């Protein structure tokens, strides 16, 4: 069940980033990320009010730290998608999101992986790299931003995994609110406009709602599965934007990307078995 939850989280993350990536080609990516996080914050606060439960200052602090990572991650990822090819920058950002939490979980938290799970994690990394192989050079412009985004997402995953299962929804609500606070100065520093057409704002906010669902599913999965395993399963989401781009944007996957998608599927199977 935890594996399925993590995969559903990946589906939500992938769909969110695809929609936001398309919007970021028409408007500043950091501004898109701001309104997406505002939408996600609204859903998270509503859920916290409805399902109100006891929490602790420590849980809220971990939620806030996760929100800082989320804000940095989405702001730089969406700007990267506005500058480069979606099939390149999304998987590149995922490298940090996979490698850093998995390494911390094993080296610092002392988690022990089974042989199939370890093999699945090892297979996931080259699979992500293969998915990122693009036939044109458009994606290289967004790679630096994508690498920064990967560090942000790694912090997001690690901090949210430390929120206790009985902490309720408030840490997630705090996480989303802090992400908004983190993005605002980034928009100022990038000299991007805050004003967007109403329809674009609504679409970004809806994408943000789905992002909050993804965070909630990931948090649930980490309570019932090793952090390293749940993180890698969730972070296989780059396959989703690639597939959606093929279906709706008529982008064509090359042989390396097809091999990467197959490898990602095999990695999911190995991790689930483990």
84 Cβ contact list (under 8 Å, min separation 6):
138, 139, 140, 141, 142, 143, 146
pLDDT of residue 140: 58
pLDDT of residue 188: 93
The yes-or-no verdict on residue 260 having pLDDT over 60 is yes
pLDDT of residue 74: 94
The yes-or-no verdict on residue 69 having pLDDT over 80 is yes
- Calculated CA dihedral for residues 73, 74, 78, 80, nearest 10 degrees: 0
Tell me how crowded residue 155 is: count the other CB atoms within 10 A of its CB. Answer: 23
The yes-or-no verdict on residue 24 having pLDDT over 90 is yes
The yes-or-no verdict on residue 111 having pLDDT over 60 is yes
The yes-or-no verdict on residue 31 having pLDDT over 80 is yes
pLDDT of residue 218: 79
The yes-or-no verdict on residue 138 having pLDDT over 60 is no
The yes-or-no verdict on residue 77 having pLDDT over 90 is yes
User: What global pTM score does this model have?
Assistant: 0.81
Mean per-residue pLDDT, 26-55? 89
The yes-or-no verdict on residue 161 having pLDDT over 70 is yes
Write the pLDDT tens digit of every residue in 203-224: 999 999 998 888 778 777 877 7
pLDDT of residue 76: 96
- For residues 216 and 21, the model is more confident at 21
What's the chain's average pLDDT?
A: 83
Task: Report the distance separating Cα 229 and Cα 222, nearest Å.
Answer: 8
- Total domains, the chain: 1
The yes-or-no verdict on residue 155 having pLDDT over 90 is yes
Least confident among 49-58, 134-143, 191-200, 221-230? 134-143
The yes-or-no verdict on residue 234 having pLDDT over 70 is no
Give the domain range for residue 200: 2-273
Query: How far is residue 75 from each of residues 58, 70, 71, 95, measured CA to CA in Å?
Result: 26, 8, 6, 17
């Amino acid at each position: 069940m935890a594996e399925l939850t993590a995969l559903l989280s990946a589906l939500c993350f992938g769909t969110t980033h695809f929609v936001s990536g398309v919007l970021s080609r028409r408007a500043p990516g950091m501004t898109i990320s701001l309104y997406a996080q505002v939408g996600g914050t609204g859903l998270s606060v509503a859920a916290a009010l409805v399902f109100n439960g006891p929490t602790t200052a420590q849980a809220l602090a971990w939620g806030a730290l996760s929100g800082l990572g989320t804000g940095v991650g989405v702001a730089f990822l969406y700007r990267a998608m506005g500058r480069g090819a979606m099939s390149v920058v999304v998987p590149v950002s995922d490298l940090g999101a996979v490698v850093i939490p998995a390494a911390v979980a094993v080296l610092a938290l002392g988690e022990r992986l089974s042989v199939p799970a370890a093999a699945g994690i090892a297979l996931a990394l080259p699979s992500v790299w293969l998915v990122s192989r693009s036939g044109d050079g458009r994606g290289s412009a967004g790679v630096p931003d994508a690498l920064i985004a990967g560090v942000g997402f790694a912090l997001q995953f690690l901090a949210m995994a430390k929120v206790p299962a009985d902490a309720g929804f408030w840490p997630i609500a705090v996480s989303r609110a802090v992400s908004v606070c983190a993005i605002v100065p980034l928009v100022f520093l990038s000299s991007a406009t805050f004003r967007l057409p109403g329809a674009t704002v609504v679409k970004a906010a809806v994408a943000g709602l789905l992002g909050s669902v993804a965070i909630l599913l990931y948090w649930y999965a980490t309570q019932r599965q090793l952090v390293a395993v749940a993180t890698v399963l969730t972070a296989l989401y780059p396959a989703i934007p690639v597939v959606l781009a093929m279906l709706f944007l008529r982008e064509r996957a090359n042989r390396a990307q097809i091999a990467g998608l197959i490898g990602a599927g095999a990695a999911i199977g190995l991790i689930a078995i483990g």
